[in-house]
Chains A and B, each alone.
Chain A
């Protein structure tokens, strides 16, 4: 079979090459260009500024003294923490509710998926409707029962909460699906044994089921944490980073610096830091939790 093997080896290299070449061109080349741009004061009206590396670290030292940047990182931390925890709890709860149910709950499983697959811009629009005081059924209901609520998205104290609610709504199905998949892998024997021993629902969950889905929750949490750093369409449609900058996450701040104020070097520096931050975060989580990437089976 050596002829077959040698022929195969050669064929595989041929099959792999085009994809890797394209992938390098569209991921590694832009990454290098991003880092290079972050070392320049790029101004599109001054073409020579694209390769002006006279003060390479100017953008980075500016970042250190930029209170709006540190505030955006803080907003990001609050948004990420709140959404990840809410999504894990709600996703877990709904998964436990749906697991092992009959036809009704099988059907509901597909229904609960919908928020996650909707185009994010549409999620933004439908929450925009929910949050618009004059037309929202929610606001009218609150008024009807005598507890009128002011607009959430224009209130500096509540705008971030409004984003958290919408983001949690959009992404709890992700945790739900992952937990449901993990629940199917729980063997029947220990459950049966615990039942015979008279375990109640809470004990059953805590000591029998939870150990089997723990890893999955960690993996789901990592994915949602990293994706929460990319939050954009919801903020774009609902608050545009405001009021003031209470909902301006780092991603949004970088977008504004680059695409609204044409501070390309500065925007690139923020984006570079975000990439570094995400990789450090992934690495740290990977270290802290063993090998979660292989954990979900």
Chain B
């Protein structure tokens, strides 16, 4: 063994460590633009474009943001994302369970419909929604935005929860029925708790998708209901490219999603490829 080892090259012997080293370098290169924006948000204005790593971090940009219109839009983002997620779960979870257990003849049609909503370009929804909202008085309202977010969240919940329900044995529900539970009571007491991890992951992905939306919020809101991503753009249009504050706002907007996505990283593929990947 020792003899054969000495014959193979240095690279082959240290293959694992070389790979690890390369991975770290690559990760740093890939995340560099991300890290750069974060560090810019803490740099004093006088030195905003500096590149020495030793600088006196300041929270001035965050304080300036806090004093402006940004906090209101941040709250709007939280309200619309949470409300749309909850609504999608309330409507979608029973539907998903029904599709999992019901063996409906229309199941395949419904699956295709859900896939189609995932594939359709948002512009096809924004034009009719914009026109209808003008008529219905829902322009620039949080409710209007919450409804629009259902176009992707509801389909996602129905689709994503099904395999979790599929994997809960029917015998458990029948046992609950014998003990006197109704169909939905059995679902609530037995099946849903057993699907809790999937439910949590689905909720987080719905939240991320709503939170990250820019296009719908840009078109359907103006001032009252504008969400944080739109607030950044409005802010740029009014005050120009004030990099420190833009970097601070960008950091604030991405913070929740980066944290949340680490929680659900193992479920992300399923959520983002909704309709296309069967596990």
| A interface residues (Cβ-Cβ under 8 A, vs B) | 1, 4, 7-9, 11-13, 15-16, 18-20, 22-23, 26-27, 29-31, 33-34, 37, 42, 44, 50, 94, 97-98, 101-102, 104-105, 108-122, 125-127, 129-130, 132, 134-135, 137, 140, 169, 174, 177-178, 181, 219-220, 222-223, 226, 229-230, 232-233, 236-237, 251, 254-255, 258-259, 264, 267-268, 270-272, 274-275, 278-279, 282, 292-294, 296-297
Contact = CB atoms under 8 A, between A and B. Distances in A.
Contacts of B110: 20
Interface string B201-235: 00000001001101100110000000001001100
B276 A8 contact: no
Given A15-B95, A19-B158, A23-B154, A274 B123 contact: yes
Among A15, A50, A223, A255, max chain B CB count under 10 A is at: A15
A120 B213 CA distance: 8
A8 B268 contact: no
A282 B147 contact: no
A9 B98 CA distance: 9
Q: Binding site of A, secondary structure by majority: helix, strand, loop or mixed?
A: helix
A233 B99 CA distance: 35
Contacts of A174: 269, 272-273
Interface string B52-90: 000000000000000000000000000000000000000
Contact of A226 (B119, B129, B147): B119
B19 A105 contact: yes
A237 B32 CA distance: 19
Contact of A108 (B23, B229, B265, B272): B23
B124 interface: yes
Contact of A114 (B16, B31, B130, B212): B31
Given A8-B101, A12-B101, A113-B261, A279 B121 contact: no
Contacts, number: 267
B216 to A, nearest CB: 10
Contact of B273 (A16, A111, A178, A294): A178
Contacts of A37: 127-128, 131
Interface string B24-39: 1011001111101100
Contacts of B151: 26-27
Contacts of B97: 12, 15
A295 B85 CA distance: 29
Contacts of B113: 23, 27
B116 interface: yes
A283 B22 CA distance: 40
A233 B177 CA distance: 51
Contact of B269 (A114, A127, A178, A270): A178
Among B24, B121, B151, max chain A CB count under 10 A is at: B121
Given A122-B254, A275-B121, 19 more contacts: A4-B174, A12-B97, A15-B94, A27-B120, A29-B128, A30-B124, A30-B129, A33-B132, A42-B131, A50-B131, A101-B20, A102-B16, A117-B257, A117-B261, A119-B212, A122-B37, A233-B229, A264-B127, A274-B123
